[in-house]
Structure 1
Amino acid sequence: MAARPPTGDDDGDAEPVVFGIATVDKHLRDAGVSFPATGEDVVAALGDPEVKCGPNGPTVALSAVVERTGRSEFETRREFLDALYPEFERERTQSGGIVSWLRSLVS
């Protein structure tokens, strides 16, 4: 999950706004987490970061999202991220609905 920066500004070096599983994936790569692993092991290795749920959205603790998956073991990094995706989507859509989504498009 990532959003492109707004167009029309003069900063050609702007990075995309990263959130959700894209943020978690970056943390996983930086920490060198290996799989298979338990959700608890992954959260501990990453330090339970707060992860943005959308470009302008709220943050949620990684531990809370992992808990919501209802799973304890993950065979691969992709399986872990795939399990987290619907939980981040749910959090993003419940946190502000269509008005927040529209705001994210114009900001």
Structure 2
Amino acid sequence: MAVRPPQQDGDEPDTLEFGIAALSPHLSKSDLTFPATTDEVVRELGDPAIPYDANGNTVRLSEALGAVRATQFDTQRELLDALHPVLEEYRESGGGILSQLRALLPF
């Protein structure tokens, strides 16, 4: 998913990508080949923090993959399809109680 950010200065991007759209650039830059296991995906992509909402909240790829039932993906589409509901759940829940507590702290 993507959403237009608030207009401020000209240095900001036109859209903010989150969810599987934010993971796609990592996949494009990698040498990951399929089929691939969850460990191979994390190792090859470097366990990036994936934004799951327009506020910039993130979840590590390894954590998101931990919530997926599959341990191997035959195609990139299969990987993205498996991650989509997990990232949507993070978006809808606001990332859980830990994320909400972090948002309240001033540092």
**1:16-58: CA deviations, max 9, x gaps?**
1011101111101111311110011011111101111111142
What amino acid is aligned across from residue 65 of structure 2 in structure 1?
V
| 1:76 paired residue number | 75
Which runs of no fewer than 5 residues in structure 1 stay unpaired? Answer: 97-107
Moved over 4 A (4+): none
**1:56-106: CA deviations, max 9, x gaps?**
14211100111101210000000000000000000011017xxxxxxxxxx
Secondary structure of the residue aligned to 2:59 is: strand
| 1:47 paired residue number | 46
Percent identical among aligned pairs is: 43
1:31 equivalent in alignment to 2:17? no
Q: Is the 8 A contact 1:19 1:55 kept in 2?
A: yes
Equivalent runs, 1:8-23 vs 2, <5 Å: 11=10, 14-23=13-22
What amino acid is aligned across from residue 5 of structure 2 in structure 1?
P
2:56 and 2:17 mapped to 1: Cα distance? 11
Which runs of no fewer than 5 residues in structure 2 stay unpaired? Answer: 96-107
RMSD, aligned CA: 2.1
Q: With structure 2 as the length reference, what TM-score do the two structures score?
A: 0.78
1:4 and 1:36 mapped to 2: Cα distance? 34
| 2:5 paired residue number | 5
Q: CA deviation at 1:10?
A: 7.2
Q: CA deviation at 1:15?
A: 2.6
What amino acid is aligned across from residue 47 of structure 2 in structure 1?
D
Q: Is the 8 A contact 1:57 1:95 kept in 2?
A: no
